Every structure is written in structure tokens, then in C-alpha cells.
Amino acid sequence: MSKIKKYSLISVISVVLGLLLVFGSTTLNAEAQGTAEAFGEIYLDGKAGNDDNDGKSTATAVKTFAKAKELASDDLNIKNIYISGTVDLEGDISLKGTNAKVYRASDYNNYLFRVKKESSSTLTNITINGNSENATDSKESLIEVIGTLNIGENTILENNKIATGENVDRSTKGGAVFVNSGTLNMSSGIIKNNNATFGGGVSVQKRGTFNFTGGVIENNEALSGLVTKSSTNYAASGGGICVDNVGVLNISGNAVVQNNYSQETGGGIAIGSQGATTDGNNTLNMDGGTIDSNESGACGGGIFIQAGYSSYRNKAYINSGRITNNTMQGTGKMNHAFGGGGIYVNGFGPGFNFYNGELYLRNAIVTDNYSDFDGAGYASCPVSLTKVYVTNGVALYGNNASELGNEVYIYSNTNPKEYGGHAGNPEYEIADRMLGGNPYRWQNEDNSFLKLEDHKGTLTEHDQKLALHTAEQANDLAKKLGKVIISGNKSATRGGGIGSNGTVTFGVENDLTEIAVSKVWDDNNNKDKTRPESIEVQLIAKLKGSNEEFVVETRTIDAKAEWKTVFKNLPKENNGVELEYSVKEKDITGYDSKISGNAEDGFTIENKPTPTTTTTTTEATTSTSTTEVTTSTTTTEPTTSSTTGTTAPTTSGTKPVSSPTTTPKVPPTTGERVEISMGVSLLLLAVAGAMLAVRKRRED
């Protein structure tokens, strides 16, 4: 064979091998394409920028967000958009279709964005980062809201740290967002890893409103500046959210405030800061959502509600939602004797022109909370006012205090040297029934039962205590009605679930009803001596329009009570829905029961002996004749309907016919494609080798 032919064959084989290597490499590395892309950045300055610039430096920054997005859309290598001057927002703001995120320029310390008065903007698919590792002198929030800002899906506001540090005589507001007289609507997204003095995540002031229906505010911090006892107290308040200087916070839906921290008050939320409200009312309306696993050094691990001054008040209305697993650590500089793991309400005594913060709870279940001292469920100090009503009330049970009052602890101290503006004589009114109607059967610290006349009053003596616990549990009706869950919270002092120096109202004051029950025996004055010594009667309740019945209470009645009882202090309705009552008697052996009457006039249970049944035995005669019974069997073929049921088996001996099964072709996976390509490669190599061997033998 000539050298030319030999080299030609070798060239062909080389080309084939080269193609195989390229093919295999392409298949094996398909997943790795595009990983080594270049890194790019542009600059955005809403004050000094110009959209005719290229945006490649602070000196040539563009002016509008729209221009910055255009540049990032045209060049997907651009990862960072640095803001070096506040940018005004209007309309829809999104970085979808780019690979870019927004960062604070390292030498810029003011707001990144502002929504001006009468403007509206919506954030989606965008990350705004405060760049705290490099921008160490930041002083303002990521966004100032004077108009309306909507936070939607895939929005992240993070890493903006503007807290001043201890002993600095100034404060900062809203690590991520400062609602400065505007409106913030948050339905999705995340606000995380920010800090400030007031509102580590969000601050709401100057008649601002925050409507929070979805999304998460987490891992933010409120850190103190200069802490004093004067009006310039910059102690931290509101790890997640702080509402102060006239603001409204509305929480509902799936909103979550979790894992936030305040060095002083309000680990999750603060309604008011350290000074009593002097400019107007601050309000929390909670109709859903979750406040979970937040922590504070002083009062209010989950929620803090400050006192008011003159005619101004801080108020919280909680009708639904979960306040769970929050902690008051007891490490703060502010007074935290009645710390409040879940919620704390502050207050002042009369004569100082200060007024209590106010908390209104409806349909609450307060259970499984813990305190290192007293009042694991609820604890209140000498200037407090406590009202526990039956209608839309509370089930307080199953809490654990290391010292006194698992469920309730109310304390009186009249010495101003010890308690200052918090010294006084607390007033209280405590219902004898839980939410759901189950009796509390309150017990004092010596386990004696609380007298009915002591359910309402004033602790008038110095160092007097009302410490209560109950062995009762919430019934099924309470669990159905319970919309506010306060559970798993802890206080290093008092008030694991709720601590208060202020005014706390559970439920609403409303007219109550009672149900009378009497027993009538129709057994000839117990002639046969079969009448039991006592019977058990169940009080049943259901919501009007529902067929679901609940046992409210079970009572034993007997001859000593003249076979009568009255269920007193029962709610007539819950949240405007009428409660309908009836009674049932547990079965009595040997007696039939008949119930007549109604809830308004009372029920009568009449019992009479069960009639004796006489049995007559008749001998049957069997005929010798045999009648053959023919059974007709009909076979029904089952259908493929999705209706669930039992299908009778076929009685025919014919085997069911199975439909042929066709296995669909499944595209090979990445690993299978690699195996196929390598197999083809080896086959072609083998063929090429054989061709070389044949050619060589012919030449020989």
C-alpha cells in the first residue's frame, strides 16, 4: 500500500475520532454550558445621573430605573446595579429578564428609592440589597414611602444596616422601609437581615399605614442608640416593625413576622416606641397572620404596646392569628418585671397625665406558655385593668409558671418608691367560663376554689396577689371558636403569654343567658327501687345554621338538688352568630327518657321505667317436602368511573379480558445519552481498527 493511501486512511480515521471526541464532549458537558460568564455592573443616580450616559461609573451614572433595566436587559453579564443617588419610583418596578440585583453604592448613605406623594409603585421580581459589608456609614432606609408602595412576588429587601450603635444620641427608622405618611401594601416577598433603632424591618410614622397581607419579615433587628429615662430615649423598639408617631398596622391573611430581635421592646412588633405617644394614636389591627419566634431583651417578645399621653392612645385589636414561640429574655435596660413573652401592654398610674396602652382580644386560646416567675398565661401589675368576658372570650389553661399563678397573676403594690408611676391597686373582672362555655373552676394558690364574689374586684392591700390556676381544658367548641392562638411563648420574669401594666380586655361585655333543667320521675314513686341516686345531664350547644353539636358542660344532679340545675352565665352568641342550646341525658338502665321544653323556658327530662317485653315461644313444624330455590346471578362489568365504592365480584367462570398494554417511549436521560454516545464511539473505533487490520494483511 502506498504511503499516500496509508496517510489518507489515517486522516479519515483521525477525522472520525475527532468528531467522536467532539460529540462526546458536547454531550458530557451540556449541563456546564454558560457557567463562565463575565461579571458586569452599572451605576444609577436619581439626582445627578443622565440617561444619555453609559452607566459604567458613578461619574457616568444613568438617572432612571427604566434606563438601568434597559442596560441590564441588553447585557446579561450585568449583575449589579449600584445606586449612588435617591431614585424616584413610579409604576411597575421589576428586574425580570435580567441577571441584575440592586445594591447601595459603598460611599452612599441616603435612601435608595423614594415613592413621592401621590405616586404609586409596585415591586416584583427584584432584590434590593443595602450592601452593609461595604456601605458601613448608611443612615437611611432602602425605600422611603410618601405615596403608595406595593411589595409583590419575588421581592427581597435585605441587608441594610443603619442602627447607630449604643450611646449614639440619635435614632434611625426602618431598616428596609420607612413609611413616612404614605401607604405600604405587602402581599408577598421578603424583608430580611436589616436593622435600625425603631423598626428593624419597617417603620410606620406620620399617619402612615402598613397593610400586611402576605410575605415574610424575618431576621431583622432593632438596636439601641442612647438609652436614657428622658424623652430622648433611643432604646430599641420593634425588631420587625415599629409603628410610632401616628401610624396604623393592619395584619391579615398569610403575613408572617418571625425570628426578629429587639434589644429592648417589641421583638416582632412595637406599637409605639420608648416614649409615651404624644402626637396621636397608633393602632394594630390583627385579623390573621403569624407572629412567631421573635425575641426581645425587655418587654414584649412578640408584640409591645406602649402607653399614651394626654388624649392619645396606643391600641391593639387582635381578632385572629397566631402569636407563638416568642421570648422575653430579661436582658434589656428597660423595666421588664411583667415582661410578656407573647404580648406586653404598658401603662401608667393616674395623676401623671399618662394613660394605659390597650389590648382587645377576641376568641383567644392562651395555653402552653411559660414564665420563670409568675403568671405564665397572663400577669398584670398594680396599675393594670383586666377584664375577662364570656362572650368572644378566652380559654386560659395548661400554662406553666415556676412560681405562682399558672393561668392568672395580678399584683398590687402601693409603694411609689418600689414601682414609681406603676404603683397602684389593680382592678379586675374574670369570667367563670372559658371560651366555649366550659367552667373555669378557678383555684387559688392554696388550691381552694375561687368564690363567685371574688371574680370581680380591686386588690386594695399592699403586696396583695391574685394567683389562679385551673385543671380544666378547652372543650371542642372552644377549639372551633378560637381564632387567636397565644402559645409556646416564654418570659424570663412574668407573663409568658401576656404581660401587662395596661388595660387588657378579653371578649366583649354582653348579655348572658341561663338554661334551667328539671327531672321528673314517672316510676310510681320509685316503687321498684330501681331509680339511680344521681343522673348526668349534658348541656349541648351549636351555632345557628350548623348541625355540629358540642358538649359544653356535664353535670350530676340528684335528689338533694331536687333533681334540678341551672347552667348560668352562658354566652348568647359568638361573633354575631346565635348559640342554640339543648340538653341530653346519659342513658339510665331500666328507664326511657323524654325531653321537652326549650332554652328560654327551660327543659324537662321525664323518665319512666322501660316496659317489660314478654316473649312467646312457638314450636315450628318442618315439612318433609323440599323446595328448590333458584338463584339468578347477574354479572355486571365494573366501569372505570372515579366514584369510590365496593364492586361486587363476577360470578361467571369467564376470565376477564385484559386490554393490551402499550409502553410509551420515554426520552433517554442525560446519563443514558452519554452511555449511547460512548457506545457508538467504541463501535466506530472497533470498525476502524478492523479496517486497518484487513488493509495491513492485504499489503503483506
Tens digit of pLDDT for each residue in 611-640? 876 555 444 444 433 333 333 333 333 333
Quote the strand ranges of 161-215, DSSP E.
177-180, 183-186, 190-192, 195-196, 202-205, 208-212
Q: Looking at residues 367-373, what average pLDDT do you find?
A: 99
Q: What are phi and psi of 69, to 5 degrees?
A: -65, -40
- Of the listed ranges 385-394, 526-535, 657-666, the one predicted with least confidence: 657-666
What confidence tier does 642 reach under pLDDT thresholds 50, 70, 90? very low
pLDDT at 692: 52
pLDDT at 614: 56
- Does this model's pTM top 0.85? no
Q: Looking at residues 315-339, what average pLDDT do you find?
A: 96
Q: Looking at residues 583-611, what average pLDDT do you find?
A: 94
Q: Looking at residues 66-74, what average pLDDT do you find?
A: 98
List Cβ neighbours of 261 (8 Å cut-off, separation of 6 or more). Answer: 200, 220, 221, 222, 239, 267, 294, 295, 296
Higher pLDDT, 358 or 419: 358
- Of the listed ranges 347-361, 542-556, 672-686, the one predicted with least confidence: 672-686
Kindly report the number of other CB atoms within 10 A of residue 436's CB atom.
26
Helix-, strand-, coil-residue percentages of the chain, each rounded to 5:
15, 35, 50
At 277, is the secondary structure helix, strand, or coil?
A: strand
At 58, is the secondary structure helix, strand, or coil?
A: helix
- Of the listed ranges 50-59, 95-104, 205-214, 634-643, the one predicted with least confidence: 634-643
Tens digit of pLDDT for each residue in 294-304? 999 999 999 99
- Of the listed ranges 38-47, 203-212, 620-629, the one predicted with least confidence: 620-629
Tens digit of pLDDT for each residue in 185-199? 999 999 999 999 999
- Of the listed ranges 304-313, 315-324, 370-379, 460-469, the one predicted with least confidence: 304-313
pLDDT at 2: 46
Q: Looking at residues 62-79, what average pLDDT do you find?
A: 98
For β-strands 465-468 and 216-218, DSSP reports them as: unpaired
Please give the Cα distance from 650 to 636 (Å, whole number). Answer: 7
H or E element at residue 495: none
- Enumerate the H helices of 29-139 as residue ranges: 65-74
List Cβ neighbours of 211 (8 Å cut-off, separation of 6 or more). Answer: 183, 184, 185, 186, 250
Q: Judge whether residue 440 has pLDDT over 50.
A: yes
pLDDT at 697: 52
Please give the Cα distance from 177 to 160 (Å, whole number). Answer: 10
Give me the residue label for grid cell 413609611: 179
pLDDT at 662: 38
Tens digit of pLDDT for each residue in 476-519? 999 999 999 999 999 999 999 999 999 999 999 999 999 999 99
Please give the Cα distance from 162 to 222 (Å, whole number). Answer: 10
Instruction: Say if residues 359 and 502 touch (Cβ distance below 8 Å).
Output: yes
Q: How far is CA 637 from CA 254, 646, 653, 656, in A?
A: 49, 13, 13, 9
* CA count, 13 A, side-chain hemisphere, 214: 9
Q: List the beta bridge partners of residue 615.
A: none
Please give the Cα distance from 436 to 481 (Å, whole number). Answer: 7
Q: Looking at residues 52-63, what average pLDDT do you find?
A: 97
What confidence tier does 227 reach under pLDDT thresholds 50, 70, 90? confident
Nearest Cα neighbor of 334 from 219, 244, 424, 420 is 420
- Of the listed ranges 121-125, 253-257, 694-698, the one predicted with least confidence: 694-698
pLDDT at 571: 98
Looking at every residue in the chain, the average pLDDT score rounds to: 86
One-letter amino acid identity for 408? Answer: V
Q: Judge whether residue 606 has pLDDT over 50.
A: yes
Tens digit of pLDDT for each residue in 447-460? 999 999 999 999 99
Measured in whole angstroms, how far is the alpha carbon of residue 311 from the centre of its chain?
33
Higher pLDDT, 416 or 388: 388
Please give the Cα distance from 236 to 226 (Å, whole number). Answer: 9
- Of the listed ranges 43-52, 138-147, 277-286, 396-405, the one predicted with least confidence: 277-286
Percent of the chain scoring above 90 in pLDDT: 72
pLDDT at 661: 38
